[in-house]
Structure 1
C-alpha cells in the first residue's frame, strides 16, 4: 500500500458546488463565481468531477467537467472525499468516517458521498483529507492537535492512531507537529493550512514575522519542530490579518492545490501575494503557477485545497 504525493499524475479533481442550504447562502452568487473560475482553470489541465444536485452547464473546455449528483452538507470535499492509495500500482479509494470536524457541524450527507458516488466501503476511523500530507515515499505529515482531538477517535492512543495510519497508507514514518494554528480554522489545525510537502525532501510552511501577532509564538515553535525533521524547508510569507464580520479568517498560502501541469495558489488581496507566487515558481519550475483570489472562500474558514480532492490516475 502507498499513499501518493499530490504532484503525481491525476485522473480528475473532485469539487462540491455551493448550494442554498449551506452557510454560503448570504454570498452564494459570489462564491459560485469563484467556483466557476476555479473549475475553468482546472479543466484546462485535467478532468473535473463536480458534485451537485443542480443541472449545471459550462462553456466548452479542454478537458471534461463531469456532473455527479449527490446531496452535501458543505463544499469542503477535501475532508470527506475519497483518499486514493495504490496497491501494487492499482488505485483504491479509501472512505474514512467524516464527523464534521469532531462533531462541530452536520455531516450526514457528506459522510455518504463516497459510498453513493464511488461505491466505497466505509472505514470506522475518523480522518479528514486536509489533516494529512504525503511525500509519496512513505512519510506522512500531520498535527497532533487534530488527530488526537477528543471527538475524532477518542478510544485510540497516539501510538494506536499512528499504527492505523501506517497500516492504511503503507507508511514508514509519521511526522507529528505539536505546534501551529490559524485563528478561525475550525479543523483543529489541519496540516494543509500549515505545512506541505512540495517534493519528497522539501516542506514549505507558513510563518509569522510580527511579534505582536497572536500566531507568532506558535508558528515559531512549529518552525523549530520542522527543522528537527531533517527536511529542506521553504518558508512562506506572512499574510496580514483578514477580517470579515468582526472575525479573523484563516488565510494561508500553504492551502495550494497541485494538478497536472499546474499549481493553483490562493491569493488574498495581500501585499505578499506576489512574493508567494515567486516562491511557488521556484518550488515548481516545470508547472504553471496560477494565483486565484480565495478571499470569499476563507469567509467559511477554508481555502482552495480544502475545497477539492485529487483523484489519481491508474
Structure 2
C-alpha cells in the first residue's frame, strides 16, 4: 500500500482555511486580514468548494451572512466551529496522499515553527475537524514535526525542500538527513529529495519554507524568486539558490524549466520598520486557476505575467496580500488544498 503525495495541481474538492480571531496576533489587524480572506473565498468559490474552520458560532453565523451577500453559493461553503491559535492552515492542516487509488489525510505534529508561537490548538485542529465529519477519508496521525509549506512535489516521486527547515534542530532534533528522508519516502512515496541549501526571506518565521522560495508548476517546471538588486541582503543567498536550481535535473536527466519571479520592493512593517517577507512564490493552484499574492508593487504585473506563462491553461487571479505579510506569511500559507474525494459532501453552510 504505497503512498503518493498529491501535487497541488491534482483535482481538488476544496481549499481549507482557518479564520482568524481577536485573541491572536491579528487583534490589531483583524478587519484587514478578514478582508483578504474574504477576497480569497470569493475567488476560490468561483471554481470549487471552501471549507473554513471558525473560532465560534457567532463568527460562523456572521460569515455565512456576509458570504451570502458577497454572492458566494452557499452549497460551496462549509463553516465548522473548531478552535485555533492562528490562521496558517498550510502548516497545521492535513497533508493528502494517494493510497490504493483514494486519498488519505496525514496529520503531522505542528509546534509553531519550532516553538516560536503557541500551537496547541492548531496542532489539534485537523483531528477536531475529522471528529466533526469534515473529511470522508481516513485521517492518520504521524509523530513527525512537519509543515505543509516545507515540502513541494512534482507528483512523480520527487520532493523539493530546504535544509534550513527540515534539518533544523528546532523540528526533529534526533533525526539526521537520512532519517528525515526515510520518513518522507515512507509517508509520501518519494524516490528522491532535492535539498536547497540556500535561500531565505527576511521576516520569515518558518526557517525557509520552500513555498516562499521555489514551487513546482508542473513536473518539468519550477518557479522561483529571483533578486536582481545587488544592494539587497537577499541577493547573494538567492543567487546561490538559483545556481542550485539550475544544477538540479529531472529523472530523465534534463534540466528543469525555470521561471524566475520578480523581486518586489522591500516591504516594511509600518509600526517598527522590520522587513516583511513579500514573495510571489506563495501562489495557490486550484481547479482552473492560480491565485497570486500581490503587494501594491510595480513588480506585481510582472509576477502575474510570469505565472500566466507557467500556467497557460489556468486563470491568473491576483489577491492583495499586504495584510497577510504583516504577520509574516502570504496567500499559500493561509490555505491547504484538499484533493478530489477527500471531503464529506457539502449539504449546508452551517454546522
- Scaled to the shorter chain, the TM-score interval is over 0.9
Q: For residues 243-262 of structure 1, what are the structure 2 equivalents within 5 Å?
A: 243-244=268-269, 245=271, 246-262=273-289
Equivalent position to 2:113, from 101, 104, 114? 101
What do you get for the CA RMSD once the two structures are aligned? 0.9
TM-score for the superposition, normalised by structure 2: 0.88
Specify the alignment match of 2:349 in structure 1: none
- The correspondence of residues 86-165 of structure 1 with structure 2, limited to 5 A, is 86-119=98-131, 120-165=139-184
| 1:220-299 equivalences in 2 (<5 Å) | 220-230=239-249, 231-244=256-269, 245=271, 246-299=273-326
CA distance in 1, matches of 2:94, 2:24: 21
Deviations 1:47-101 (A, max 9, x none): 0000102223121424511001100000001001000000021100000000110
> Aligned equivalents of 2:113 and 2:336: distance in 1?
17
| Alpha-carbon distance between aligned partners in 2 of 1:295 and 1:61, rounded to the nearest angstrom | 23
Looking at structure 2, the residues matched to 139 and 298 of structure 1 have their Cα atoms a distance apart, in angstroms, of 29
Q: Which moved more, 1:50-59 or 1:108-117?
A: 50-59
Cα contact 1:115–1:121 (8 A) shared by 2: no
**Alignment: residue pair count:** 314
- TM-score of the superposition, structure 1-length normalised? 0.98
* 1:153-190 deviation per Cα after TM superposition (whole angstroms, max 9, x unaligned): 00011111011101100001110000000000000000
Q: State the 1:282 CA deviation.
A: 1.2
Offset, 1:118: 1.7
Query: 1:23 is matched with which residue: 17, 21, 25?
Result: 25
Which among 9, 12, 16 is matched to residue 10 of structure 1?
Answer: 12
Which of 77, 81, 92 does residue 89 from structure 2 map onto?
77
How far does the alpha carbon of each residue in 1:112-138 deviate from its partner, in whole angstroms, 9 at most, with x for none?
A: 011111243421100000000111111
- Point out where structure 1 has 5 or more consecutive residues left out of the alignment: none
1:36 and 2:55 are equivalent in the alignment: no
- What runs of 5+ residues in structure 2 fail to find an aligned partner? 132-138, 250-255, 342-351
- d(CA) in 2 for partners of 1:116 and 1:102? 22
Q: Which runs of 4+ in 1 moved over 3 A?
A: none
C-alpha distance in 2, partners of 1:109/1:298? 22
Quote the Cα distance in structure 2 between the aligned partners of 1:309 and 1:161: 23
Please tell me whether the aligned partners of residues 207 and 219 of structure 1 are also in contact (alpha carbons under 8 angstroms): yes
Is 1:213 the equivalent of 2:215? no
- In structure 1, the residue corresponding to 2:318 is in which secondary structure? strand
Give the secondary structure class of the aligned counterpart of 2:4.
Answer: coil
Alignment of 1:157-196 (within 5 A): 157-196=176-215
In 1, Cα distance between the equivalents of 2:37 and 2:179?
A: 39
The structural deviation recorded for 1:27 is 1.2
Counterpart for residue 197 of structure 1: 216
Distance 1:93 1:43 in 2: 22
In 1, Cα distance between equivalents of 2:337 and 2:42: 16
Structure 2: distance between partners of 1:14 and 1:138: 25
Partner of 2:336: 309
2-structure distance, mates of 1:125, 1:80: 13
CA distance in structure 2 between the partners assigned to 1:18 and 1:159 by the alignment: 37
